[in-house]
């Protein structure tokens, strides 16, 4: 890889801005899952060991800057203070917290930083200019430090001040988490050992058009399940009842199928339900027998068998998107079975990209059974689209 990594920087005694992804779920001031903080620790600990002065920047939730009342309540809800407290428990050095994103208090806190100390700055989205990559804001934040490291993989697909603007000004490098993601996803998407099979699902075709099209050009087989399969089935003239369907994507689905030929594998049976609910009347139906008032909420056992066959012998597998409404136990079987099928492939390099797919795999106990589970939902999706991620593109070459 040609991008500089944190090991290429001389950080001793230097002020280093590290863009982390501390966008953790918080309810009533309590962190529900600290995984994102934990994932950033290798880079943070390395910089501490090297004697850097760390200035951590992250966003947390969203802040509305249009409605003043909403701005106040969003800021209150998405205050970074609980994150600083949790981080302090996870590292061996002092963690200071600055509850503003600019001004004398921040500048004084930065000046007071000693080597091996960490300063976590308030939520970057307190600044209206953050999401607009405002040059004035970028220049201001950059003026606080000597170096920039990006370790926020979940945010590198966004060109914001803290992800791109600051990096355009300061000498920069990738942190260990971003480096790991780029290498792991790149190995599957750019350099797959063949046969390469992609398995796509999730709710909407429109979310995944670019992923489908890109993977159809690189993969040897593309399997489609989940809600988006029904648009394809309808485009084939099948009755899909009240299943999810994007009528404005029917022509596109036809085009994709014509181009893909037998590269594309679609499900052949489903668990159909009378309503979008766990308790609704539900049963297994073939693709020729979905009643007009039922909706497909999971793939059925024949589809699992078909998909398992299509995966056989694969040396690289990329999975994005659940096979059904896995959040409800009744419709989680297809997703779990596909998880099993992928993770038991002998000698295959297996990658999950996509927030919900990763969650489905982890919640069902498959966290150690894949070669790589990406930490970035939107970022891994854009990576699989073959797009250049702005927060990585901006980092200096070696």
Indicate which residues carry an active-site annotation: 36, 204, 355, 378
Tell me the closest approach of the beta carbon of residue 395 to ligand ADP, in angstroms: 25
> What string marks each residue from 367 to 396 as x (binds ligand ADP by CB under 6 A) or -?
----------x---x---------------
Is there a contact between 313 and 193 (Cβ–Cβ < 8 Å)? no
- Binding residues among 126-165 for Mg ion as defined by CB under 5 A: none
Residue 320 interacts with ligand ADP (CB under 6 A)?
yes
Tell me the closest approach of the beta carbon of residue 175 to Mg ion, in angstroms: 24
- Binding residues among 348-367 for ligand ADP as defined by CB under 6 A: 354-357
Q: Say which entry of Mg ion, ligand ADP, none residue 322 contacts (CB below 5 to 8 A, set by partner kind).
A: ligand ADP
Q: Select 50 or 333, whichever has its Cβ closest to ligand ADP.
A: 333
Residue 202 interacts with ligand ADP (CB under 6 A)?
yes
| Secondary structure in 3-state letters for the chain | CCECEHHHCCCCCCEEEEECCCCCCEECCEECCCHHHHHHHHHHHHHHHCCCEEEEECCCCCCCCCCHHHHHHHHHHCCCHHHHHHHHHHCCCCEEEECCCCCHHHHHHHHHCCCCCEEEECCHHHCCCHHHCCHHHHHHHHHCCCEEEECCHHHCCCCCHHHHHHHHHCCEEECHHHHHHHHHHHHHHCCCCCCEEEEECCCCHHHHHHHHHHHHHHCCEEEECCCCHHHHHHHCCCCCCCCCCCHHHHHHHHHHHHHHHHHEECCCEEEEECCCCCCCCEEEEECCCCCCCCEEEEECHHHHHHHHHHHCCCCEEEEECCCCCCCCHHHCHHHHHHHHHHHCCCCCEEEECCHHHHHHHHHCCCCCCCCEECCCHHHHHHHHCCCCCHHHHCCCEC
Residue 275 interacts with ligand ADP (CB under 6 A)?
no
Q: Say which entry of ligand ADP, Mg ion, none residue 207 contacts (CB below 5 to 8 A, set by partner kind).
A: ligand ADP
Residue 231 interacts with ligand ADP (CB under 6 A)?
no
Q: Select 165 or 322, whichever has its Cβ closest to ligand ADP.
A: 322
CA dist 378 and 391 (Å) reads: 13
Q: Select 93 or 203, whichever has its Cβ closest to Mg ion.
A: 203
Tell me the closest approach of the beta carbon of residue 360 to Mg ion, in angstroms: 10
Q: Select 115 or 278, whichever has its Cβ closest to ligand ADP.
A: 278
Alpha-carbon dihedral 204, 205, 208, 211, rounded to 10 degrees: 150
Residue 207 interacts with ligand ADP (CB under 6 A)?
yes
Residue 55 interacts with ligand ADP (CB under 6 A)?
no
Tell me the closest approach of the beta carbon of residue 300 to ligand ADP, in angstroms: 12
How many residues sit close enough to ligand ADP to count as binding (CB under 6 A)?
21
Closest residue to ligand ADP: CB criterion = 202
Nearest to 32 by CA among 99, 95, 83: 83
Residue 325 interacts with ligand ADP (CB under 6 A)?
yes
Residue 99 interacts with ligand ADP (CB under 6 A)?
no
Closest residue to Mg ion: CB criterion = 356
Q: Select 129 or 376, whichever has its Cβ closest to ligand ADP.
A: 376
Residue 226 interacts with ligand ADP (CB under 6 A)?
yes
CA dist 313 and 5 (Å) reads: 35
Residue 329, Cβ neighbours under 10 Å: how many? 10
Residue 342 interacts with ligand ADP (CB under 6 A)?
no
Tell me the closest approach of the beta carbon of residue 107 to Mg ion, in angstroms: 39
Residues contacting residue 120 through CB under 8 Å, at least 6 positions apart: 22, 56, 58, 80, 83, 84, 87, 95, 96, 97, 98
> What string marks each residue from 328 to 357 as x (binds Mg ion by CB under 5 A) or -?
---------------------------xx-
> What string marks each residue from 295 to 314 as x (binds ligand ADP by CB under 6 A) or -?
-xx-----------------
Tell me the closest approach of the beta carbon of residue 374 to ligand ADP, in angstroms: 10
Give the footprint of Mg ion on this chain (CB under 5 A): 355-356
Give the footprint of ligand ADP on this chain (CB under 6 A): 201-203, 207, 226-227, 244, 296-297, 320-322, 324-325, 327, 354-357, 377, 381
């Amino acid at each position: 890889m040609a991008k500089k990594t944190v090991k290429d920087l001389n950080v001793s005694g230097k002020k280093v801005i590290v863009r982390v992804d501390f966008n953790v779920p918080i309810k009533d001031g309590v962190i529900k899952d600290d995984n994102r903080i934990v994932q950033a620790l290798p880079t943070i600990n390395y910089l501490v060991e090297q004697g850097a002065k760390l200035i951590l920047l992250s966003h947390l939730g969203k802040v509305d800057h249009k409605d003043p009342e909403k701005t106040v309540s969003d800021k209150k809800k998405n205050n970074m203070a609980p994150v600083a407290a949790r981080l302090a428990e996870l590292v061996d050095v002092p963690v200071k917290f600055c509850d503003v994103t600019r001004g004398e208090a921040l500048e004084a806190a930065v000046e007071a930083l000693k080597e091996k100390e960490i300063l976590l700055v308030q939520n970057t989205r307190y600044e209206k200019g953050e999401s607009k990559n405002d040059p004035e804001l970028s220049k201001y934040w950059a003026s606080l430090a000597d170096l920039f490291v990006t370790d926020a993989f979940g945010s590198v697909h966004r060109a914001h001040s803290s992800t791109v603007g600051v990096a355009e000004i300061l000498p920069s490098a990738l942190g260990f988490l971003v480096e790991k993601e780029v290498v792991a996803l790149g190995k599957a998407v750019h350099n797959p050992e063949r046969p390469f099979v992609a398995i796509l699902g999730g709710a909407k075709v429109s979310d995944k058009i670019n992923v489908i099209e890109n993977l159809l050009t690189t993969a040897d087989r593309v399997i489609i399940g989940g809600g988006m399969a029904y648009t394809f089935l309808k485009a084939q003239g099948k009755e899909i009842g009240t299943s999810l369907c994007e009528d404005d994507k029917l022509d596109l689905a036809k085009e994709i199928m014509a181009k893909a030929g037998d590269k594309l594998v679609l499900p052949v049976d489903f668990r159909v339900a009378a309503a979008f609910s766990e308790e609704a009347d539900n049963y297994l139906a073939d693709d020729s027998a979905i009643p007009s008032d039922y909706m497909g909420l999971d793939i059925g056992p024949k589809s699992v068998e078909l998909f398992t066959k299509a995966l056989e012998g694969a040396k690289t597998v990329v999975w994005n998107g659940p096979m059904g409404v896995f959040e409800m136990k009744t419709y989680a079987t297809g997703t779990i079975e596909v998880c099993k099928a992928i993770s038991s492939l002998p000698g295959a390099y297996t990658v999950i990209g996509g927030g919900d797919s990763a969650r489905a795999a982890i919640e069902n106990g498959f966290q150690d059974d894949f070669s790589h589970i990406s930490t970035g939902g939107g970022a891994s999706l854009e990576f699989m689209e073959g797009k250049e991620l702005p927060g990585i593109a901006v980092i200096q070459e070696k």
